[in-house]
Structure 1
């Protein structure tokens, strides 16, 4: 473990990571060097794994699943391991947060909060491991008895993104383990450290060898090979809809593996005139700016009632300009750096498109000067029309597009005017309007007079092109199982062939 004497300091030299297969650390031949997006300093070096490394990891996971104890242990035994892992995560929270900040650029305070959520995921999964069950049918007649068993699906490939490296890992991993599956994880190339740290945590918690394996490298090489691998039974991928499509194609062309996909979003936040406008404005500013907008459930489309639109947009803009952007190790910082150069360019290009297409810029729209790092001011466009690029595309940055409506039906139409369906929010004091909107807007997660709230007890996932399947909660464990129907006849057979 690295001893962090001063959380505001960066490491004197980059930390070298190997990769983890069958309970052992291996060393790479080539490495990817990660420079902190906030400090522009080399902080980690992670291995560039090969196809052979992936094959070794999948073989270890297969052997652990078919021959090891994990899949056959009781739910209580699996729960014990997950709870011990949660305790170790709590003890090492600052260590985990430190490396998350250095590679990702998010504020240290936010990273600590995400680790608290990750711990809750492990604790929830531990309970779900004990509750996982099938069904019985005692209504099939005098002699026939039926059972539906839930069995772990097998070897799971898990590909995680760079925006929430540890949290998204933990919204999936403990539920995969609770089901009895084994796993091969490929974290994002730029943010692999905390996924690798997890290997030591799980080993210390008592997870058998081969159950958790980590291969590192690029998505185009290792990620694609995982999607195509014939001995991976299920692939869980979180990322863009474009790459999700390639996972579907790879599955179809290989072994028809089951897929769990959490993909893009262009999420609406609907604000009615009767809502608490100050509360709603704060939620809007938070929803689009949290994690610098690099968030699948970011509320990037504001749909506000016409009668209060001018006032409300001014209120949102006033709040957005007060957001504290900067050094992620400063406790006062609310949002940190843009994680990659490529994403920084993408966000700035969309801001330029918004201006050129005629949207009106109310605030932000510029890079923020800082001694080191990539920072973009939270940005609000108004008078946006549905045909504009900033209205339709997932920008994945702190850029908000504002639309106006006069009737409930118009608000619902605007909210559903997207290929996505990941998340949505509505703000009103009228329960009838709230229920109407909640029922008719197509989204896998919905918030009424709140934003980005909830815990790992409830499932998450998307509609439409935002993905397939559900993570977290009991549904998140069931996602990694398959059903087997069993019939038992208690009587002698009535012969078909006459004697």
Structure 2
């Protein structure tokens, strides 16, 4: 597809998607459908089936057969790697198409969507090497009569439930690593943003993935998502979403088959800025950290913890940065901040902004909705004079709302950073390597950035501390997460009899 322009991009009618089972598209047929409207343009863009629990059973059965007959898990690492490499190449070839539908359904800027899609191709290419290097261990120290092996085996059928904020990226932080381990997959994307997950399933089939190894069932979290968490033939579930829903996933898994869980949940992530930092760089990074994806990002840097001696000046610098950011039509290449993805989230963010005003926080900039003529947009918002007890300082708002909390000492900065139920991500800005290392070691977060934020790649794992989740995705750890460890004892020579 040619590069999309604002004038010619909107579809004349919504694109029909089915769901995907056993290597083939299944049309909606008599099923009810969900019509997704672009949050930036208020026009219908996709039609997605509302699948039933019977449809989920069909997908799980396909994944179960594909796993049990070893059509994928029984292949060599080299054979799996070849499929993953081809998938990466096909994602690159279809990057404009994928970014286009991602932008229409999600509301994120097209330039951002394109960058995410190309980064996802990297993940398949990196995971292809992991498919070949995955290994266990051996123990040749058990004496002349015994040899010990530790093997890694794929866990089985994996369910994946993804949210609407990064539909393609979050899926691709999991799928290639899960496939590299030899597992088969059933995906339940958000009903708001299902298109790119369905396109990915087609791509994997074209890349040579055997039928049944990648299935996509569309529908709501309350029906299909809940049924996946409780499904007795799903061996492991990867869930990305809020901590509140994550608790329900844990409860549902416990009621069924005690399936293994990978959970990436909420965050209230600190950005700690010291007076000795490059303040221009830090201001740009803090602005990026709160406005990227309109703040609808679980690793968004929503708490600015700044040294008191520079706090007022730094707040002005961040405000000035955000004032220059381009908010508008996400199909415009120049746009940096797009639309809020769902009506419910739009209401939630605005309600938190009003709560901040009611709690007595000082509004530095933003503070409400933006009238762009169509769609739903919120101005990046900064609150000063925030105290740790305020709701806006404690709750995950999941929008472009930044709270500022000053500190005087390094120990105080660390205490404020850790004063949260979450532990997903954190950043520190300083030119003093000792400070950077102390903060990195003592702040409780699964991902950490020094003089940068929201950086990443396929090599490093993702995941949280505390109530931000369990397990790790991506990197070699993301492959190992989807394996079971088996100890094997091999006796050498004739057995010493127990009964003479």
Match of residue 12 from structure 1: 12
1:388 aligns with 2:385: no
Q: Deviations over 1:432-488 (max 9, x none)?
A: 111110000000000011111121101110000000000001100001000010000
> Which of residues 249, 252, 255 is equivalent to 1:253?
255
Unaligned runs of 5+ in 2: none
Specify the alignment match of 1:118 in structure 2: 120
Task: Report the Cα offset of residue 68 of structure 1.
Answer: 3.9
Matches within 5 A, 1:432-443: 432-443=434-445
Q: Alignment partner for residue 319 of structure 2, among 294, 317, 326?
A: 317
**Structure-to-structure mapping, 1:208-287, within 5 angstroms:** 208-287=210-289
TM-score by length of 1: 0.98
Q: Which residue of 2 aligns with 1:23?
A: 23
TM-score, structure 2 normalization: 0.98
Q: Per-residue deviation at 1:321?
A: 1.5
Query: Cα offset for 1:5?
Result: 7.0
Displacement of 1:154 in angstroms is 0.2
CA spacing shift, 1:97–1:7, aligned 2, 3 Å: farther
Q: Indicate the residue corresponding to 2:167 in structure 1.
A: 165
* Secondary structure, counterpart of 2:448 in structure 1: strand
Secondary structure at the residue paired with 2:369? coil
- How many residue pairs get aligned? The number is 497
Q: Is the 8 A contact 1:271 1:303 kept in 2?
A: yes
Question: Which of 346, 365, 368 pairs up with 1:366?
Answer: 368
Distance 2:6 2:61 in 1: 39
Q: Distance in 2 between matches of 1:247 and 1:82?
A: 30
3-state SS in 2 of match to 1:70: coil
1:104 aligns with 2:106: yes
SS of the residue aligned with 2:170?
Answer: helix
Secondary structure in 1 matching 2:423: coil
**1:214, CA displacement in angstroms?**
0.5
Q: Distance in 2 between matches of 1:44 and 1:68?
A: 35
- Report the CA distance between 1:244 and its aligned residue: 0.5
Mapping of residues 38-57 of structure 1, within 5 Å:
38-57=40-59
Deviation at 1:377, TM superposition (A): 0.5
Rounded Cα–Cα distance in structure 1 between residues aligned with 2:270 and 2:445: 9
Contact in 2 for aligned 1:289/1:378 (Cα 8 Å) = yes
Could you list the runs of 4 or more consecutive aligned residues of structure 1 that deviate by over 4 angstroms after TM superposition? 2-8
Is the contact made by 1:321 and 1:364 (CA closer than 8 Å) also made in structure 2?
A: no
Q: Contact 1:7 / 1:98 at 8 angstroms: preserved in 2?
A: no
Give the whole-Å Cα distance in 2 for the aligned partners of 1:134 and 1:4.
45
Contact 1:144 1:490 in 2 (8 A): yes
Equivalent residue, structure 1, for 2:347: 345
1:321 match: secondary structure: helix
> How far apart are the structure 1 equivalents of 2:53 and 2:108?
32
Q: Does 1:398 align with 2:375?
A: no
- Residues 27-54 of structure 1 deviation map (CA, whole Å, 9 limit, x = unaligned): 2211000000000000000000001000
- The answer for the alignment partner of 2:307 in structure 1 is 305
Please give the secondary structure, in 1, of the residue aligned with 2:467: helix
SS of the residue corresponding to residue 141 of structure 1 reads coil
Secondary structure of 2:345's partner? helix
**Match in the other structure for 1:138:** 140
User: In 2, distance between residues paired with 1:24 and 1:324?
Assistant: 41
Worse-superposed segment, 379-388 or 5-14: 5-14
Deviation at 1:494, TM superposition (A): 1.0
Structure 1 residues 303-350: Cα deviation after superposition (integer angstroms, max 9, x where no partner): 000111111111111111211111011111101000000000000000
CA distance, structure 1, for counterparts of residue 315 and residue 202 of structure 2: 48
- Look up the match of 1:454: 456
Gaps of 5+ in 1: none
Distance 1:412 1:203 in 2: 48
Provide the C-alpha distance between the structure 2 equivalents of 1:4 and 1:335, rounded to a whole number of angstroms.
19
Q: Distance in 2 between matches of 1:347 and 1:217?
A: 25
Aligned to 1:60: 62
For residue 326 of structure 1, give the secondary structure of its aligned residue in structure 2.
coil
In structure 1, the residue matched to 2:204 is 202
User: RMSD of the TM alignment (CA)?
Assistant: 1.0
1:425 maps to which residue?
427
Distance (Å, rounded) in 2 between the aligned partners of 1:66 and 1:127? 24
Cα distance in 2 for residues equivalent to 1:196 and 1:438:
39
Deviation at 1:3, TM superposition (A): 7.5
SS at match of 1:460: coil
Per-residue Cα deviation, 1:62-97 (whole angstroms, up to 9, x for no partner)? 000001410000111000001101111111000001
